[in-house]
Structure 1
Amino acid sequence: MTTTRLSPSCQQIISSDISSLQNGSITIRSCMDDPDLAPTITNHRCNSVVLTPSGLYTDMAITVASHIWHHHRGANAPLPGLNVHNLEVHKPLIVKDPTQMSTLWLEMTTTLSLPPNTHEDITSTTLHCVFHSISPSGTKLQQNGHCNVSFEWYYGWLSEWSLQYNHVTSRIAALRSNPHSQTVNRAKAYKLFESFVQYSGKYQNMSSCAFDAATLEATSTLEFLAQPESDFCGPYYHDGSCHVSGFVCNAVEQNKESNAFISNGVTAMKLSPLFDPSKEGTEISNYVQMSPLPNDKTVLQGDVYVLQDGQIVGMWEGVRFKKIPRRVLNVFLPPPKK
């Protein structure tokens, strides 16, 4: 084990053999009580339970992918687009007692692979990441989820997204001018969210949100509260860029006492380097339209477009939320006793 700290989400490298692009691997571990990491966890509650956010898992994957890229291309090599795909966190780590977070650890093992008959190059490599909750001594307790990461040229993303720009901005304008839409400020938006997710602290990044319950569309203006000088920003940035999707699902649900929409996975997260919430004087917004899956009407799915300074700079593809009865939710995610 080494003591190399890549970031607050990747605190210890337990083992590393990443020179081989076929079957190389790296394992990292992190304590949830780390002072830089802990606020990103304790300010994220689902059903009133402190729960590790999806943005933590994506940050871990992005951090290790960047580490592997620099190992092969050099410390100063500019990063390509990092496509985090097939993300599923089926059993997120639950924090039952926030005063005992020093006993809670996450481990991620990343394995490298190449397609058959492919020239050995880092750009052809796929990373397979598996997350486990572990004991402080390193015993695996439960698998939490998994994802893959691919290295892609983000200029191709930007070119593809530019073709969608006029449509997306026209829908945003229509939402904001439509008399049937509702527009809410930050306080009201996160009050509506509270039926399932309780975001506090620097997760409350939607300064305003317009949504239409009939079309399941929403757009929000984003003002990110976390600052790189003082905060660990990754989970806040990732979650904040896309949680308008979960907002529209839960905000339009008519029977909030009986039902809730829970995260059901993400097909792909593509945030280009042009997505930069720390930039001074920047304007960031997003847009999504959710729709029921043809084969399962209890699942809503949509693509979240992230816009900054007049162009689409990121996209969350196939964000899914599943409607479940609250009585079922209370079984596997029981709220704290009052």
Structure 2
Amino acid sequence: MNAPESDRLAAGAPSPRERFSPDWLSRREWLDARSRSHRLTGRAADWLAARPGGHGGPYGIVDLGCGSGSNLRFLAPRLPGPQRWRLVDHDPSLLALARRQGATLRDAIGERLVIEACCRDLSPVDDALMADADLVVASALFDLVSRSWVESLVTACVARRQALLFTLSVDGDWAFLDAAGQRIEDEEDIAVRTLFQAHQRRDKGLGPALGGEAPAVLVAAMAATGYRVESAATPWHLAAGESELLPLAEPLVQGWHDAALAQAPEEQPLLERWRASRLDGLAAGELGLTVGHRDLLALPPLLPGGA
């Protein structure tokens, strides 16, 4: 996938086939950790600890599109051990960063991790990608993939009775907030968001992208297999005047502008006016913003006898 930087920032997630800015990943990591569902993480940890049939070796975890390793850093201390991670990403520099930082991590019982770095595309969804895993995880990925790729992934996970924990899948919604934290929008906001949502559905390298439909498609696909599915809203929420707002909000607004402009070049005057107005409001501490995401946990159906 070779989407431009503005497209990647607009989507809020790395493309499975492109180089992605470590700076952007670092900027968003604290907000991802604040926003994601700790309850679903706890449920995944409980499922691993009670893995049907017992577990004699390390728990296998595959992180799809791992980027610089934020998912690894968040999950490893919260999941039971010992753990063996397969980090998968197309970008060798991000993989090296993730592996280097992972070397200092411990699991919930204080043991070091075993980490395998796998530099490759996410397609095909084959045994080399999925083998020997108990839990499949991904963060901020699924708006960029296609329905057919999701179906291939679900089929692979079901065949292996793997659990899935997918976090921070954008749902296509975003809005600005006033100083009281209330959602505000005018006709220009609606127009830009509509263009952005259309741009989200362009092919990002794995077929026509799901965009904001991704969370609903994932839930439906897993539920249809008999998996036990839970979903939670995990929006980014940045208050007006919050000290960490601008380093995230400014590139987001620029990304939304650029995606909308690519979708409708004839709307450039409107888009330039909108961008300037919203950036001014953010810089003045008059506006905050919210970006919709959802987390998903899918556990295999219970075996006879409740295992």
Q: Which category of TM-score, normalised to the shorter sequence, fits these structures? A: under 0.3
The TM-score, its normalising length taken from structure 2, stands at 0.26
Structure with greater proportional helix content: 2
Structure with greater proportional strand content: 1
